[in-house]
Amino acid sequence: MDDAVVIPKEIGGYKITGILGEGGMSVVYTATQKHPERTVAIKVLRNGLYSPTASKRFHLEVEILGKLDHPWIAKIFDAGTHDDGNGATPYYVMEHVENARELTEFLEDEKPNRRELLKLFTMITSAVEHGHHRGIVHRDIKPGNILIDSRGEPKLIDFGVARSLSSDKVNEQAMTEAGRLVGTVQFMAPEQVDAKISDVDARCDVYALGAVLYQMLTTRLPRTLEGLPIYEAVRQICKEDPVLPTIYDDTIDQDLEAIIMKAIENDRGKRYQTAGAFGRDMLRYLGDIPIKARKVTALDRTRLFCRRHKKQFLIWGIVFCVGAVAATGGLIFKKMSDDRQEELQTTIEELSKQNEELATVPAPSVPEEALPAEPIFVLQSAPEKLQVSSGGSVLIAVIEDEFVAYELNGIAVALPSMNIEPIEAVFALSTSGTQAVFVSKNAYVVQLGLTPPTKEIVEISETSRMVSIENNVLASISPNGVLEVLSDGNKLKPATSTTGDFNLVTIDSRGEQIYAATDNWIYVWDVEDFPKNATKLNGVVDPMFIGSSQQKIVVADQNGKLLVYALHSPQSISKLKTTIQLETTILQCALNRDATEFAYVSGATAFVCNVETGESEEVTWMPNMPIGVAYNANNSLILWTAEGEFYQSEK
């Protein structure tokens, strides 16, 4: 660390407590924020590394990044300029990841097995995909920008900032610092280092993810560039094929190698076209499903089928063995019967009498090992976005940039034509699945229960963060955190909060009450009183779910903390009923109709938590990795995969 670095006491109202790290372009400090009280990280750009134009782009980019909401992306809270005596210098404030280790350090310390390592990697692809869906390209994905927290879960940092700083001066500096070039260029796609190409897109992140995966598995890099002149390093990246990972580790099978090599193709047209497609192929690999990275033979399909259904084959093998033993025993018995026919006849008569006596006694039940479930419905292609009604009856998905809708029994649901961009849209379904709302440039309320379905353009913010609809009541959170409500087509006065932006909103299934959450607070209204007479309750930091059922309100944060309130009316809510700490990061969750179970997905596994006791149980009947959960009207658990396979419990 440079001894000449002077640590400021304060930046933008944040009290500096130390230095986290520094590089050629920036210094990262730890700091304390007063309201809300928390530890944050502040990255300050070194003076002179930006032009006025680049500075303007930086502030615009940070504003966009502040809207990213994903458990595996470090959040950006604030941005501004700080005068360190040499003029105004941009900075931004981001989430401080406690006890964080960089990806490489984590792998060296913990040495996870291959399956755990690949599950971790799919989490990273999920974070990158989230940014891509919002039009943000990272352009600097590398192990140093992937932190692993104390739970072994990733936090992607510096998301998009490298792009916002892409000025000639920055590029020139990167090209003249050999150490920085070699350290970063290994993860840069050919189009990023080729001066002839200017239209760099999200596929450069796919390449970087492939290089990261390569290093995670082999501890080596796809190319050996150390010590090479810059022009030669660039030539090799653009012209020469990377080294096969099996050269370094022959335990990598052909499917896994094909996935890696597809991601780091020199020709971006031959790569996975999105980070989501990359992650989904990895999930196929982990689920013993044929991958997309290479042509699969009939023998491969048979092998994968046997792996997927090894429990069934084990059971069938046991049954076969028992049958064979029984048949052999029958032959022996026949031989013995020839010698002792009279004796055995007497024994049979005695046993027959005993059987008649026992016939009135019920046989004890013997638990059978549950077989893995078969999907109840499969989408024609992997969805890019997906919403399932909270009643578990209808889904809406974006497939190949088109909206599709189905009942969970596989019956297609008609949608009207809409002037809307599916991949950019925010959309939601009512509990029953008979109403839907779509927002992107235009906002539509669609009545799915009618033939043909009808649509109505409504006046709400065209860039909503989140929407909810029930019984002709529509709630929307605008980009600046204001809550907007329409009731029977009438726009009500919006609600703002003194405790910060609204993050979540939902409406009860009758369309009578509205529940919204900010950091640390919950608000409850009767629709007829909105926005007045709100009841305010203690909430959770960083809420990701709020729901109600059977006179209970449940709110959860991404770190697995659940609060449960008993609800009588907005003015009569009893004290906290339950506080549950799940000790895991929640990706997606659902509450059943009785509010007795809270199902959630963490990592690549589904769990069901008993709301009364706080005890969680892993869902073991799901054969593939789930990414989403819901409950239907019968309280059966619905799970689905990234491939669009839907499964249902027998409950």
Cα separation, 300 vs 310, in Å, equals 15
Tens-digit pLDDT profile for residues 286-331: 888 888 888 767 666 666 556 655 555 555 566 556 555 555 655 5
The rounded distance, in Å, linking the Cα atoms of 484 and 459 is 10
pLDDT at residue 482 in the model = 92
Catalytic residue among 69, 83, 140, 250: 140
pLDDT for 484 equals: 94
For residue 601 the two structure tokens come to 């997905």
Count the helix, strand and coil residues of the chain and give each as a percent rounded to the nearest 5: 30, 30, 40
pLDDT at 647: 93
pLDDT at residue 451, rounded to an integer: 80
pLDDT at 26: 77
Distance CA 59, CA 64 (A): 9
| Burial zone of 370 (CB within 10 Å; 0-12 exposed, 13-18 middle, 19+ buried) | exposed
Q: What is the mean pLDDT of residues 544-556?
A: 88
At 256 the pLDDT is 96
Give the pLDDT confidence score for residue 343 in this predicted structure.
60
Q: Which residues pair with 518 in a beta bridge?
A: 521
Please state, in angstroms and rounded to a whole number, the distance separating the CA atoms of residues 50 and 198.
Answer: 20
3-state secondary structure of 243: coil
At 6 the pLDDT is 76
**How many angstroms separate the CA atoms of 282 and 124, rounded?**
12
**Domain chopping of the chain, boundaries:** 546-651
Residue 114 has pLDDT above 90, yes or no: yes
Could you give phi then psi for residue 229, rounded to 5 degrees?
Answer: -60, 155
Convert the pLDDT of each residue in 492-525 to its tens digit: 999 999 888 898 999 998 999 999 999 889 999 9
- Give the strand order in the sheet containing 490-491: 466-470, 473-477, 483-487, 490-491
- The larger pLDDT score, comparing residue 257 to residue 559, is at 257
Alpha carbons 105 and 386: distance in angstroms, whole number: 35
Residue 532 tokens read as 């007045």
Task: Say how far apart CA 445 and CA 354 lie, in whole Å.
Answer: 70
pLDDT score of 175: 39
Nearest residue to 590 (alpha-carbon basis) of 568, 616, 569, 609: 609
- The yes-or-no verdict on residue 81 having pLDDT over 80 is yes
Confidence of residue 367 (pLDDT cuts 50, 70, 90): very low
Helix (H) or strand (E) holding 549: strand 543-549
The reported pLDDT for the residue numbered 40 is: 94
Considering only residues 412 and 541, tell me which one the structure prediction assigns the higher pLDDT: 412
Residue 309: predicted pLDDT = 52
Answer with the residue of higher pLDDT: 173 or 550: 550
Q: Tens digit of pLDDT for each residue in 186-233?
A: 899 999 888 777 778 889 999 999 999 999 999 999 998 888 888 888
What is residue 495's predicted lDDT score, i.e. its pLDDT? Answer: 94
* Cα-based angle 448, 421, 454 (whole degrees, multiple of 5): 20
Counted residue by residue, the chain has a size of 651
- Hey, how many other C-beta atoms are within 10 angstroms of the C-beta on 34? 9
Q: Look at residue 184 and tell me whether its pLDDT is greater than 80.
A: no
Q: What is the pLDDT of residue 165?
A: 43
Using CA atoms in the order 95, 98, 99, 103, what is the torsion angle rounded to 10 degrees? Answer: -30
pLDDT reading at 60 higher than 90:
no
Phi-psi region of 401 (alpha: psi -120 to 50; beta: other; left: phi over 0): left
Least reliable range by pLDDT among 295-299, 346-350, 479-483: 346-350
Give residue 104's pLDDT. 95
pLDDT at 77: 86
| The pLDDT of residue 177 is above 50 | no
Render the burial of 404-432: b for 16+ CB within 10 Å, e for the rest.
bbbebeeeebebeebebebebbbbbbbbb
Query: What's the confidence (pLDDT) of residue 167?
Result: 39
Q: What is the mean pLDDT of residues 358-369?
A: 44
Helices and strands counted in the chain (H then E): 14, 36
Q: Give the pLDDT band (50/70/90) at residue 179.
A: very low
Least confident among 154-158, 192-196, 306-310, 464-468: 306-310
pLDDT for 163 equals 55
With H, G, I as helix, E, B as strand and everything else as coil, classify residue 326: helix
| Residues 143, 144, 147: CA angle, nearest 5 degrees | 85
Q: What is the mean pLDDT of residues 19-45?
A: 86
pLDDT at position 166: 39
In terms of Cα–Cα distance, which of 364, 371, 408, 359 is closest to 386? 408
Q: Which residues have CB under 8 Å from 270's CB, separation 6+?
A: 262
148 HSE (CA, 13 A, CB side) = 20
Taking the C-alpha atoms of residue 290 and residue 297, their distance in angstroms, rounded to an integer, is 9
Which pLDDT does position 217 carry in this prediction?
A: 97
Give exposure, 613-642, as e/b (b: 16+ Cβ within 10 Å). eeebeebeebbbbbbbbbbbeeeebbbbbb
Torsion angle of the four alpha carbons 52, 57, 61, 64, in this order, in degrees rounded to the nearest 10: 110
User: How far is it, in rounded angstroms, from Cα 544 to Cα 166?
Assistant: 33
Question: Is pLDDT of 266 > 70?
Answer: yes
Is a pLDDT exceeding 80 seen at residue 334?
A: no
What does the longest C-alpha to C-alpha distance in the chain come to? 112
For the ranges 208-212, 437-441, 503-507, 564-568, the lowest mean pLDDT is seen at 564-568
Average pLDDT over the chain reads 82
Percent with pLDDT over 70 in the chain: 79
- Does 351 or 208 have the greater pLDDT score? 208
3-state secondary structure of 336: helix
C-alpha span between 147 and 436 (Å, rounded): 38
Q: In whole angstroms, give the CA distance from residue 225 to residue 333.
A: 76
- Mean pLDDT in residue range 402-410: 92
- What is the model's pLDDT at position 327? 58
- pLDDT score for 115: 92
CB 159: neighbour CB atoms within 10 A? 28
| Tokens describing residue 442 | 């235009």
pLDDT at 35: 83
Tens digits of residue pLDDT in 589-642: 999 988 899 999 987 789 999 988 888 899 988 877 888 999 998 899 999 988
Q: What percent of the chain has pLDDT over 90?
A: 39
So what's the pLDDT on residue 358?
Answer: 45
DSSP structure string for 611-650:
TTT--EEE--S--S-EEEEEE-TT--EEEEETT-EEEE--
C-alpha–C-alpha distance, residues 205 and 163, integer Å: 12
Question: Is the pLDDT assigned to residue 120 strictly greater than 80?
Answer: yes
Confidence of residue 170 (pLDDT cuts 50, 70, 90): very low
| CATH class (in words) of the domain with range 546-651 | mainly beta
The string of DSSP letters for 259-278 reads HHHHHT-SSGGGS-SSHHHH
| Whether 501 is catalytic | no
In terms of Cβ atoms closer than 10 Å to its own Cβ (0-12, 13-18, 19+), residue 39 is middle
For residues 245 and 51, which has the higher predicted lDDT (pLDDT)? Answer: 245
Query: What pLDDT, in 10s, does the model give residues 66-79?
Result: 778 888 998 888 88
Q: What per-residue confidence (pLDDT) applies to 561? A: 87
- Phi/psi at 611 (5° precision): -65, -30
Average pLDDT rounded to a whole number, residues 247-266: 95
What does residue 571 show for φ and ψ, rounded to 5 degrees?
A: -95, 0
